[in-house]
Amino acid sequence: MAQSLTHGETALPADWRDLFALTKPRVMSLVVFTALCGLLAAPVSVSPVLGFASILAIALGAGASGALNQWYEAGLDAKMKRTAGRPLPAGRLDPQTALQFGIGLAAFSLFLMLFASNWQATLLLAASILFYVFVYTMWLKPRTPQNIVIGGAAGAFPPLIGWVAATGSVAPLPVMLFLLIFLWTPPHFWALALFVRSDYAAAGIPMMPVVAGEQSTRRQILFYAIIMAAAAIAPWPLGYTGALYGWVAVILSLIFVALSVQVGTRRTGDGDLMQPEKRLFAFSIAYLFILFGAVVADRWWPL
């Protein structure tokens, strides 16, 4: 839960950079990109102005989720080296400002989405915000090592929302893209959790490496990477994408699985720099960007 400022100090007046940091801009960039790809991959023509407004609404909704997450977890963030410099635990922002900013941003994002597209996309955006804040942040994360597995649904909504914003309906392809991100999240996040395990342990957060140990986490990373690869390739043989996307998915997924094998078969204590884990984490980000770019390229410039 959000706590008082560090050392009981009074926060300085909010700086726009601190408010921007609350939105988790690096996470938002992936959200915006996958949402845009979902919108551009839809088999309809979308007005550039309304399309931009829809993507902006998704970005603001993601930013609101990040702000409310940081408001609620300010006390936990203060215990971890990786997050201690964030605006709330560092004392640059007071919790009330963060809460008001997050709620206001969420409300505006929903209003903008309803204005720019349709009620179906607005409901999906609202569901994604509520799921991330209440189901993942408040319920799952502090209670179960499966937090990332179930909570991954929150980050999987954007391409589905983008598609529905363009078409007003759900189709098999965006559902498969949702599933792809859902299955991608555990190996991506657990690779990070392996080399910041001490942070999560210090904060008392039951991440998989803390609760189940490194070896179990490594095996599960490999397991999810394999079924994720199958989900990534599946749209091609099922006829929802063409060969351009298909070959990109095959090549990138083989690399992803190969990196996961290195992590999954590595014994605890084999070196202390966690280089295979860091390589997998870095590649996993590029993997999703390139793969979703291929979805759009396949739609507009098929082989």
Q: What is the pLDDT of residues 233-246, one digit of tens each?
A: 999 999 999 999 99
Query: 95-116 and 48-72 helices cross at what angle (nearest 10)?
Result: 160
Q: Characterize 64-97 residue by residue with b for buried, 16 or more Cβ atoms within 10 angstroms of its Cβ, and e for exposed.
A: bbbbbbbbbbbbbbbbbeebeebbbbbbbbbbeb
Q: Which residues contact 280 (CB under 8 A, 6 or more apart)?
A: 187, 191, 221, 256, 259, 260, 262, 263
Q: pTM above 0.85?
A: yes
**Token pair belonging to 226:** 């394999």
pLDDT value of residue 37: 97
User: What is the torsion angle, in degrees rounded to the nearest 10, for the CA atoms of residue 209, residue 211, residue 216 and residue 219?
Assistant: -50
Name the residue with higher pLDDT: 149 or 7: 149
3-class SS string, 75-137: HHHCCCCCCCCCCCCCCCCCHHHHHHHHHHHHHHHHHHHHHHCCHHHHHHHHHHHHHHHHHHH
Rg (CA), the chain: 20
Q: Residue 82: which pLDDT band, with cuts at 50, 70 and 90?
A: confident
User: Read out DSSP for 44-74?
Assistant: S---HHHHHHHHHHHHHHHHHHHHHHHHHTH
Q: Please check the confidence at residue 13 and state whether its pLDDT lies above 70.
A: no
Please name the CATH architecture into which domain 16-169 falls.
Orthogonal Bundle (1.10)
| Cα 169 from Cα 153, distance rounded (Å) | 19
CB-neighbour burial class of residue 269 (10 A; exposed 0-12, middle 13-18, buried 19+): exposed
Where are the chain's structural domains? 16-169, 171-303
Q: Please check the confidence at residue 276 and state whether its pLDDT lies above 70.
A: yes
CB 76 within 8 A of CB 205: yes
Alpha helices in 144-274 (DSSP H): 147-167, 172-195, 197-203, 208-211, 214-233, 243-264
User: What is the torsion angle, in degrees rounded to the nearest 10, for the CA atoms of residue 46, residue 47, residue 50 and residue 55?
Assistant: 50
Average pLDDT, the chain: 91
pLDDT value of residue 5: 47
Nearest Cα to Cα of residue 59 among 100, 108, 16: 108
Q: Which residues contact 212 (CB under 8 A, 6 or more apart)?
A: 145, 220
Q: Please check the confidence at residue 197 and state whether its pLDDT lies above 90.
A: no
